[in-house]
């Protein structure tokens, strides 16, 4: 695929990522694994794309913009990292170390965009009270258009200036530094997993956690196999909870019936 066509598709993907997340459709959203798969198709290297996407997905576990909080845009970091890795030939660790700061940069852009879209929120509310529903809809669409700029602007800058600049930097950067970036990129997913375990009922299901670790680390079972066993365990737990819930309801129903009979006897 010609590079110019790749560049256009990547910019359109960044815009769609914002639109998809803001419109409520959420087909790809900004999840690294889904964005990474599409990027792999565009760049013609799905293997490299999914390695980077999987790493960034692990980093993003446990991170959520709850209540409108600003969080790093790992989907944007995925686009930039895959673009740099495939276009410049940089290692995945180095590409992630370069792409991740771009995702962090959107923390600042996020505040600006939210400030601007606050105007559209009040404008939509005014149109709602005035029963001007078409104008309210267009106001909402305009807010999503502003939201897409948070993704399109950084990606466009990287595409226009990134590859050349990154190649020049990598040519003069010492090997020990790039190796350090690769090691750091490999360690960062642990942070995401740790954050996720912090908010999960880890102590309650510690047995399953240890079993999964043993299967993956010692028995070298593929992640898909571990995931399928985890899904089976989750379904088993769900069935047990449903049975316990039904038993509790049955006991309560019997108790209620007995009490009602005593009242009638009196």
26 compared with 97, residue with greater pLDDT: 97
pTM comes to: 0.60
**pLDDT at residue 217 is higher than 50:** yes
CB 81 within 8 A of CB 213: no
pLDDT at 247: 82
Dihedral sign computed on CA atoms, order 31, 32, 36, 37: negative
Q: What band does 204 get if pLDDT is binned at 50, 70 and 90? A: confident
- List of residues 6+ apart from 237 with CB closer than 8 A: 205
**pLDDT at residue 50 is higher than 80:** yes
Work out the average pLDDT over 96-113. 72
Q: How many helices (H) and strands (E) does the chain have?
A: 9, 0
Task: Write the pLDDT tens digit of every residue in 120-131.
Answer: 888 888 888 888
123-154: string of b/e by CB count within 10 Å (b at 16+)?
Answer: bbeebeeeeeeeebeebbeebbbbbbbbbbeb
Domain boundaries, the chain: 3-200, 201-266
CB 192 within 8 A of CB 54: no
**pLDDT at residue 140 is higher than 60:** yes
Rounded Cα–Cα distance for residues 64 and 18 (Å) = 16
CB 239 within 8 A of CB 247: no
**pLDDT at residue 67 is higher than 50:** no
**pLDDT at residue 208 is higher than 70:** yes
């Amino acid at each position: 695929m010609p590079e110019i066509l790749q560049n256009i598709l990547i910019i359109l993907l960044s815009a769609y990522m914002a639109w998809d997340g803001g419109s409520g459709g959420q087909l790809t959203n900004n999840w690294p694994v889904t964005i990474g798969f599409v990027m792999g198709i565009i760049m013609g290297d799905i293997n490299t794309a999914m390695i980077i996407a999987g790493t960034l997905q692990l980093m993003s576990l446990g991170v959520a913009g709850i209540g409108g909080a600003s969080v790093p845009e790992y989907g944007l970091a995925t686009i930039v990292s895959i673009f740099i890795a495939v276009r410049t030939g940089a290692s995945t660790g180095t590409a992630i170390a370069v792409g991740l700061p771009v995702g962090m940069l959107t923390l600042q852009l996020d505040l600006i965009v939210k400030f601007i879209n606050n105007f559209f929120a009040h404008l939509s509310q005014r149109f709602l009270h005035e029963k001007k529903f078409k104008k309210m809809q267009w106001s909402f669409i305009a807010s999503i258009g502003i939201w897409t700029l948070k993704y399109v602007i950084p990606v466009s800058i990287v595409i226009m200036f990134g590859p050349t600049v990154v190649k020049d930097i990598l040519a003069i950067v010492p090997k020990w530094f790039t190796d350090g970036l690769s090691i750091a990129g490999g360690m960062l997913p642990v942070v995401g997993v740790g954050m996720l375990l912090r908010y999960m009922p880890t102590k309650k299901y510690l047995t399953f956690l240890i079993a999964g670790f043993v299967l993956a680390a010692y028995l070298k079972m593929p992640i898909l196999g571990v995931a399928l066993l985890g899904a089976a365990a989750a379904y088993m737990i769900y069935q047990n909870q449903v049975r316990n819930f039904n038993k509790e309801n049955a006991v309560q129903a019997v108790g209620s019936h007995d009490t009602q009979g005593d009242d009638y006897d009196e």
